Structure 1
Amino acid sequence: MECIFCKIIDGEIPAVKVLDEELVIAFMDINPSSKGHMLVVPKRHAENIFEIPESDLAATVKAVKICAKAVKEALNAEGITILQLNGKASDQIIPHFHIHIIPRWENDGLPISNWEMKPGDMKEINDIARKVKENITPPS
């Protein structure tokens, strides 16, 4: 499968770049959820958070912070949504790890964080936490 982000990184497809570093590129989203919506993408292909090397992840997160601060100042955004999706069930469309930076304003109508919050079952929460702890392994 051909990766659209790899084509952008290789210069085969144009993009409106805002940052181009050794390990990471950031460019404007051509289907923006809000004014200033951009994507930060590691140059080395990794499909998701489970595959990305630690060095690329660190460089990507550093670039997200730089770009989020810049777009917040440039557009006078009142907030920023940082969004990263993994797998079809999470609605990941492009199978190349990337992070969305979405500038936000009060009453902008974006439903990104409007999920229902309701009290959880504490026994279930504790059981899940125990299972997660059993599966935590330090990064290699």
Structure 2
Amino acid sequence: MAIYDDQNIFAKVLRGEIPSYKVYENEQTFAFLDIMPRSPGHTLVIPKAAVRGILDISADEFVEVARTTRRIALAAVSAFNAGGVIVQQFSEPASGQVVLHMHMHVMPMTAGIDLLPAQTRKEDPKVLEQHTTRLIAAIKEQMQRA
């Protein structure tokens, strides 16, 4: 397995060197909006551990990523009045992984509206701020009910 590069963009986000639209964080995971979303509310869930993908993450760390991914998926469906959600994970360049830090894509979906092509359009920062607010509110509501 290839070596983890601690200069990748998500490692820099975790260290606060690059700003992000954070929607959720706990001891082991961090979730933030994709700045080039394929659907409104497209969120990335990453482990805080320095791992490239599913091939080198520990089972315990992966369980925490999965828990956070589920939390974000439920909140995103609620916040964006979506009919469903796509969850994707790519590991290693041969699979299409671009940023070599483990991440899960959570994309709320509405029937009849296709995903935008990957990495084609940066979203307006004001829209991302609005989406961040909506997701945070939905996550808080979800946690209060639990």
Q: Deviations over 1:32-68 (max 9, x none)?
A: 0010000000001101111011221111000001010
For residues 25-40 of structure 1, what are the structure 2 equivalents within 5 Å?
Answer: 25-40=30-45
The number of residues matched between the two structures is 112
Shift of 1:87: 1.6
The code of the aligned residue for 2:16 comes to G
For residues 97-136 of structure 1, what are the structure 2 equivalents within 5 Å?
Answer: 97-110=102-115
* 1:43 corresponds to: 48
Shift of 1:109: 2.0
Greater relative contact order, per chain length (Cα 8 Å cut-off, separation 6+): 2
Q: Give the match's secondary structure for 1:15.
A: coil
Structure 2 Cα separation of the partners of residues 66 and 99 of structure 1: 12
Q: Give the match's secondary structure for 1:71.
A: helix
Return the match for 2:21 from 8, 16, 19. 16
Computing the radius of gyration from Cα coordinates, the structure with the larger value is 1
Q: CA RMSD in A?
A: 1.4
Task: State the percentage of identical aligned residues.
Answer: 35
The answer for unaligned runs of 5 or more in structure 2 is 118-146
Structure 2 Cα separation of the partners of residues 14 and 55 of structure 1: 28
The answer for unaligned runs of 5 or more in structure 1 is 113-140
Provide TM-score, normalisation by structure 1.
0.76
Q: Which runs of 4+ in 1 moved over 6 A?
A: none
Provide TM-score, normalisation by structure 2.
0.73
